[in-house]
Structure 1
Amino acid sequence: MTTRPRTFAATLGLLALTAVWGSTFVLIKDVVERMRVVDFLAVRFAIAALAMLVLFARPVWRLPRGQVGRALLLGVVYGIAQLLQTWGLKLIAPSVSGFVTGMYVVFTPILAWLLLRERIAGVVWLAVTMATAGLAVLSLRGVSVDPGVWLTLASAALYALHIVGLGRWSREQDAFGMSAVQVVAIAIICLLATAPRGPALPPDGSAWLAVLYMALVAGAGAMLVQTWAQAHLPPARAAIVMTTEPVFAAGFAVALGVDALSWRMLAGGALVLGAMYLVELAPRRSVALEAEALHHEV
């Protein structure tokens, strides 16, 4: 597969995982009303880690020592981000949490420039601005800057750091092993957060089904897709594609009858999708037009 098809496949992969993440909002809201947030996260990622180790024991064993260390570090960063985001969510409205978490789209190119000296094209900054505006239209009904906002903003910065680190260190041949090690690290962080009494199990069958879906599809599967996809995408582009999560969340909410279609959903979704078009489809069209012009000149 050539570079361009791989890039396109990576973009589709990120879109698929953000659709999965978007489908989980209703499930999470229902489950965390019946069990502690830290218990939910600990059980979810413990199951995901066990599944990954069973499926990918050989890739983990073959992973170079340096990559094991990097994957552990990335998993710790992601696990702390999950905890900060969830603790922040307890103090602020879910809509505000969604917007502030989505600010990783701003932090990612800044961190890529500061840490990697990666040049960020003007069209990417325009896309970042559009995506941020789209998130605001989708999510905000007024903001009060309280401790919950600061906790969530810290989680967004850590998510951005994870995206940048994954973009720097992920290699296609290491995707299985690195994904498994990251999920193990996340599970350890979340299990430590349940100390001293340890995690409580889901209270009933429907909660177990939700946790299993979150663990295997939205946890292990999503981490695998993200790790593979970011071997083929720059961090800033990956972050912008991933801002489609609240668009999918709104779509699922409407489809399931939880929410009504509104102008905010349409306008905010259009801005986010427009941002993705700028960084993913517009450059391809430009290259195609240049090639066509060159062909006509010849």
Structure 2
Amino acid sequence: MKSKLYELRADLLLLSVAIAWGVTFLMVQEAIDSTPVYSFLFFRFGLASILMFFIAYKYFKEINKQTILFGILLGSILFSAFATQTFGLAYTKSSIVAFITGLNVICVPFLAYFIFKDHVRRNVLIASIIAVVGLYLLTMSGELTLGYGEFLTLICAFLFALHIIFTGKFSKEVNVYLLVLFQLITVSILSLAFSLVLDDTTFNLNYDYTFFKAVIVTAVFATVYAFLIQTYMQQFTTATKTAVIFTMEPVSASIYGYFAGGEILTSIQILGAILIICATLVAELKFSKKGLKT
């Protein structure tokens, strides 16, 4: 009973992470209209690293090679996912990128099985399929082909799936606070390096209200809070269920965009959002020989 309560609490907190990412999506979009992507990522993850330093410093005596290695690996995977997604956006529509990125919900159970032999509950696998259908209806507004942009985004989905799987495993082996700290530091360093090479400018920016609002809000809520909660709570739930819950990100982004940004939601998109919500509920169900449990 206690383990079920821990799992339910973990799932609810992971849902709050998906909502935080979705709500800040519009903010990020507005910021990168005037700020190069990698420069923005550097400031976002740089500030997040500083904040995480003050949260994690009391655990510094627990730092070891394994913690640093795991943090660097997670950070490298996460940054690579951001990078391939960003380059994918340069070659195909954002709606297609959003859909293909969400396909990590299907990648996770298969990768978890092949890498760690983790078995997936039947209802969670069903929820993954429902979530993919919902994602298609919610995000797609163009013809799906397999061009260069789509290929890069498929790699992105694969990388996000790996990030979820390895986060669940590493969080059980090392100090969570230090793991998140080294992950954020890795992303900020790689973002700076890419920005210096690829962006037109890194520091000579328009430091206005939109920029500071996006950097501060995303650093606090969509980075420090989000990755700390994800890393800590994945100890108590499965990687596949985490991926299903994270499909709520585009749902929360669409709802927030509707109310705050005046964006239009079609009946098809609303149906897609409902299917994703249903998928997260199905993922919480448990079947036994005696019948259905919650």
Q: Could you say whether these structures have the same fold, taking a TM-score greater than 0.5 normalized by the shorter chain as the test?
A: yes
* Residue 43 (structure 1) aligns with: 43
Change (3 A) 1:195 1:173: closer
Q: Which amino acid aligns with 1:84?
A: T
Q: How does 1:14-29 map to 2 (within 5 A)?
A: 14-29=14-29
Q: How far did 1:91 drift?
A: 2.2
Q: How does 1:123-142 map to 2 (within 5 A)?
A: 123-141=123-141, 142=143
Q: How far did 1:63 drift?
A: 3.6
Q: How does 1:56-205 map to 2 (within 5 A)?
A: 56-141=56-141, 142-171=143-172, 174-196=175-197, 199-200=202-203, 202-203=205-206, 204-205=208-209
Query: Identity of paired residues, percent?
Result: 27
1:260 alignment partner, SS class? coil
Contact 2:31 2:211 in 1 (8 A): yes
Aligned length: 289
Contact 1:81 1:158 in 2 (8 A): yes
Change (3 A) 1:29 1:172: same
Change (3 A) 1:61 1:188: farther
* Residue 241 (structure 2) aligns with: 237
2:67 alignment partner, SS class? helix
Change (3 A) 1:2 1:288: farther
Aligned partners of 2:289 and 2:75: how far apart in 1?
A: 37
Structure 1 vs Structure 2 CA RMSD: 2.2
Contact 2:67 2:174 in 1 (8 A): no
Runs of 4+ in 1 over 4 A off after TM superposition: 285-291
2:217 alignment partner, SS class? helix
* Residue 211 (structure 1) aligns with: 215
Aligned partners of 2:149 and 2:292: how far apart in 1?
A: 49
Aligned partners of 2:290 and 2:41: how far apart in 1?
A: 45
Aligned partners of 1:225 and 1:8: how far apart in 2?
A: 14
Q: How far did 1:181 drift?
A: 1.4
* Residue 11 (structure 2) aligns with: 11
Q: How far does the alpha carbon of each residue in 1:138-168 deviate from its partner, in whole angstroms, 9 at most, with x for none?
A: 0112223221111111111001001110111
2:38 alignment partner, SS class? helix
TM-score (norm 2): 0.91
Q: How far did 1:248 drift?
A: 0.6
Contact 2:257 2:263 in 1 (8 A): yes
* Residue 2 (structure 1) aligns with: 2
Q: Which amino acid aligns with 2:203?
A: A
TM-score (norm 1): 0.90
1:195 alignment partner, SS class? helix
Change (3 A) 1:287 1:30: farther
Change (3 A) 1:115 1:4: same
Q: How does 1:250-289 map to 2 (within 5 A)?
A: 250-280=254-284, 282-283=285-286
Structure 2: tracts of 5 or more residues without a match: none
Q: How far did 1:289 drift?
A: 6.7
